[in-house]
Every structure is written in C-alpha cells, then in structure tokens.
Structure 1
Amino acid sequence: MKHCVVCQGIALVFVPIAFLFLWIRYRRGKRFPQRADSLSIVTTERISYYELLQATDSLSESNLIGSGSFGYVYKGVLRSGTAIAVKVFNLQLEEAFKSFDTECEVLRSLRHRNLVKVITSCSNLDFNALVLEYMSNGSLDKYLYSHNYFLDIRQRLSIMIDVACALEYLHHGCSSPVIHCDLKPSNVLLDEDMVAHLSDFGISKLLGEDKSDLYTKTLATFGYIAPEYGLDGLVSVKCDVYSYGIMLLETFTRRKPSDFEGDLNLKQWRLQKKLDVVSSIMKVALDCCVESPARRTNMKDVVGMLQKIMIQLLAR
C-alpha cells in the first residue's frame, strides 16, 4: 500500500513535467521545421524596389494588412511564391526616417525565434521599406477583439510565454539590453502555428554599456506606458515589464486599457474581479505593473512563473 502511495506521488510530480517537456518539444518543432538557426535578418537576400512593386501589385490597397504611426504594411508574393510582408515608411514624416534607421540597426544584431524575421531592406531617395517574414495569422489584437476568432486559455498563455521569452532575450540575452518601448497586442504577430513573434522596433532603444536607463522624448501608445516613461521620459527595461503586465491583463480579460475612464484603470478593474482559472496569471501581471520600477519583477522570473502555470494547465 505504501508502495502505491509513493508511486502516485512520483507520478504527480513527473507527469506535469513530462507534459511541459513534450509541449516545449512540440513548440520548438513548429518553430524550427527545417532550420538550423533562426536569424532575424537574412542579409544575403536582395529584393529590388521593382520586385516589391510587382509582389504587392504596386502597393495596392487590396494588399494592405496593417498601418502604424510611420507607415503601412502590405502583403506580397514574390515570383518564387514566397509570401512576404512589406513595411513601407511614410517619408513625409520626419520621424519615419529615424524609425527606419532604428529598426535596421536593432534587428540587424538580434537572433531569436520569437522576434519577427526581417528578410532584407529596400531603400532609395524616395522609398524606405523593410521586407518581413509574413505572419499568416495576423496579430494578437485581431484574435482578442474579432468575433470571428477565438483563443482558449492555453493558447493565450502560450502566446504570452512566447512574448516573455522574446523580452527576456532583449533584456538579458543581448550584449547591450534592448528596450522595445511599444509593447501592445497589435505588435505581437502570429505565424501559421500560432507561435508569437514580437514586431515593430521603430522606437526601441539600445542601452549602452554601464547604463540602466535613459531619457527620451518619444512617447509610446497610451495605456501601456509605464508611469516614469510617461511623466519623465525615463526609459529602462522595467518600462517593457510594465507594458507586458498590462498586455497580459488585456489578453485574459479582453479589455483595452483605454476602455476605462477617470481613476479606474485596467489594474484596478482586475483587482475587483475574482477569477479562479487565471488568478495566478493575474498575479504575475500585477507584479509587472507595480508603480515603482525597482519593485517590478523581471522577464526571467516572468518566463519561469508562466511556465509553471502552463504545467498546471497541461496536467489537468
């Protein structure tokens, strides 16, 4: 009898771990089907301006799949049959030049499976564009707010773990920490296997050696900005942590930060609700959203905590 109890106890410990191991293997298999590595930029590829016009039917409105502060994104198909996304910068905006240069500089040195992959850039006097890997399932924003799409709890958690892994790499895995500065669901893109890729590094910041923060006049999207970023322009990796926390809350509540008026915000609204299934996830999100940057958690710990929650979900 005691032997059976011991066996059951061992099973309770190792079965969830086995589930997590298989899940990670599955996710990695989807990410790396026939690929030895996962470079964010394929510098050997060269695509001309005229090839881009052909691929996008002269940047026709029917191929428009997204827009942002500095330009538009079009779907294209190369002569080889490869689907691409072409991010064209609006050069009538002075900030667009800087945004293009920033994305080129940042993405040139980044290598991670959960960052959008840039195939090449195309630039002349009148045209600046980035050619990106096409994400067939669009953005997280589309899945959260469209009546035609649905994400279950495991899918939402899996996507947010992907984003957390990308941020962990940016903050702790690069020679110089990278601050994304504009985390929000529309900047999380989903490939055909629903693997999330962080995109849009147009206002990102590189921290130099021996620097933990810097000041900037560039403002990100209202509702996701950390207090110190919005008030003083002080930017650090903890600003991304705060934005991630807001997005984690949003992903599991389907409520935008802008849905609230006056003193009631997304954090306060969540504290007034009782959810058994996602209470642990809400706690992680709130740990990210602490007002004081020094008291906020870091992305390494976030990844670890969310993976433990995934073990619990897979074991059910």
Structure 2
Amino acid sequence: MPGLDDTQFRNEFNHLMRAQHPNITQLVGYCYDIGHQRIKHGGEYIFALVEERVLCFEYLQGGSLDKYITDESCGLNWHTCFKIIKGVCDGLDYLHNGCKDPIYPLDLKPANILLDKDMVPKIGDFGLSRLFPSTKTYVTIKIIGTPR
C-alpha cells in the first residue's frame, strides 16, 4: 500500500484480518516481493530495487454494485435492493462500532460494494480508509476520494 512503512502495513493488515463480518470483504492474505525493475530516472533507464506489497481479498463473483445500478437490464427487485442496503448498513456499523479500532472507509461508493453469488453485499476496497484507535479523535478538512 503506497505511503505505508512496514509497521503501518502490518498494523493495517492485522486490523483487516480481524475484521470478520458477513458484509465485509474477507482479507485472505498478502503478497510481498522485492526485485529489480527498469525505471526511467533523470532521462535514463536504470534498474532500481522495488518493493511491492499487495493485499489479497476473497473473490466475489457477483461483481460490483455499480454494474447493477447502471444497467437497466439487471432489474433489481425491491427485496434485493433492501437486502443490499441493509447489508451495507450492517457492514458499516460493524466497521465503526464492532471493531476494537474503528475502520472508516473513506471511498464508499457502488463500485466498492461487491456482491456474492446470492447478492449479499460486502464492503471492499480499503485503500482509502482510516484505522482509528478508540482513544483518539481526528479532525480533518482534507477532501479525499475518487473524483466523479
């Protein structure tokens, strides 16, 4: 994850591994690699030592919610819509109140709500999220998220 040192990455990984809820995308592991890559530096190509870390989450075959709300042919019925809304609310409640240290997804949108084969919603994409110790309060005026 860009901008995180090893300690921060491990802390975020451990928090996400502990997040166990039916409406949260399950983290199953991570990959870590160090290798040389050819990159352009100062107008010339050089080989640089590059460290890469990738979080691995469960696969959800239903895809993302945005596919269903932008495609008229999908025709979600009221029961399914309610199930999705309730599941997202339950997942958010768990992240905010059910975790030892609350997790706040800062880029919640239909593209980051994934659906399983039974249309159960799961909140995913924690790339823009904050882990807050329960004893800390943060105030920010910085605007972040995915632009429209």
TM-score scaled by length of structure 1 = 0.37
Q: Does 1:211 align with 2:117?
A: no
CA-to-aligned-CA distance 1:211-259 (integer Å, 9 cap, x gap):
343337461134xxxxxxxxxxxxxxxxxxxxxxxxxxxxxxxxxxx6x
2:85 is matched by which residue type in structure 1?
M
Q: SS at 1:131's partner residue?
A: strand
2:146 is matched by which residue type in structure 1?
T
Quote the residue 1:277 is aligned against.
none
CA-to-aligned-CA distance 1:2-56 (integer Å, 9 cap, x gap):
xxxxxxxxxxxxxxxxxxxxxxxxxxxxxxxxxxxxxxxxxxxxxxxxxxxxxxx
Tell me how far apart the structure 2 counterparts of residues 166 and 140 of structure 1 sit (CA, whole Å). Answer: 15
Tell me how far apart the structure 2 counterparts of residues 179 and 138 of structure 1 sit (CA, whole Å). Answer: 22
Q: Does 1:98 align with 2:4?
A: yes
Quote the residue 1:298 is aligned against.
none
Tell me how far apart the structure 2 counterparts of residues 195 and 130 of structure 1 sit (CA, whole Å). Answer: 22
Change (3 A) 1:121 1:160: same
Quote the residue 1:170 is aligned against.
95
Q: SS at 2:91's partner residue?
A: helix
Quote the residue 2:111 is aligned against.
186
Runs (5+) with no aligned partner, structure 2: 35-50
Q: Give the structure with the higher percent strand.
A: 2
Q: Does 1:109 align with 2:18?
A: yes
Tell me how far apart the structure 2 counterparts of residues 202 and 105 of structure 1 sit (CA, whole Å). Answer: 15
CA-to-aligned-CA distance 1:126-161 (integer Å, 9 cap, x gap):
432222211111010000002442211211111010
* Aligned residue pairs, count: 129
Change (3 A) 1:155 1:128: same
Q: Give the structure with the higher percent helix.
A: 1
Q: How does 1:76-155 map to 2 (within 5 A)?
A: 96-98=2-4, 101=9, 104-125=13-34, 126-155=51-80
1:157 is matched by which residue type in structure 2?
F
Quote the residue 1:197 is aligned against.
122
Tell me how far apart the structure 1 counterparts of residues 144 and 101 of structure 2 sit (CA, whole Å). Answer: 22
Change (3 A) 1:157 1:103: farther
Change (3 A) 1:218 1:203: farther
Contact 2:87–2:121, Cα closer than 8 Å, also in 1 = yes
Q: Which contiguous aligned blocks of 4+ residues in structure 1 show a shift greater than 6 angstroms?
A: none
Contact 2:17–2:26, Cα closer than 8 Å, also in 1 = no
Q: How does 1:1-316 map to 2 (within 5 A)?
A: 96-98=2-4, 101=9, 104-125=13-34, 126-215=51-140, 217=142, 219-222=144-147
Contact 1:178–1:204, Cα closer than 8 Å, also in 2 = yes
Tell me how far apart the structure 2 counterparts of residues 195 and 209 of structure 1 sit (CA, whole Å). Answer: 29
Quote the residue 2:44 is aligned against.
none
Q: SS at 2:4's partner residue?
A: helix
| Cα root mean square deviation, aligned | 2.5
Change (3 A) 1:103 1:184: farther
TM-score scaled by length of structure 2 = 0.75
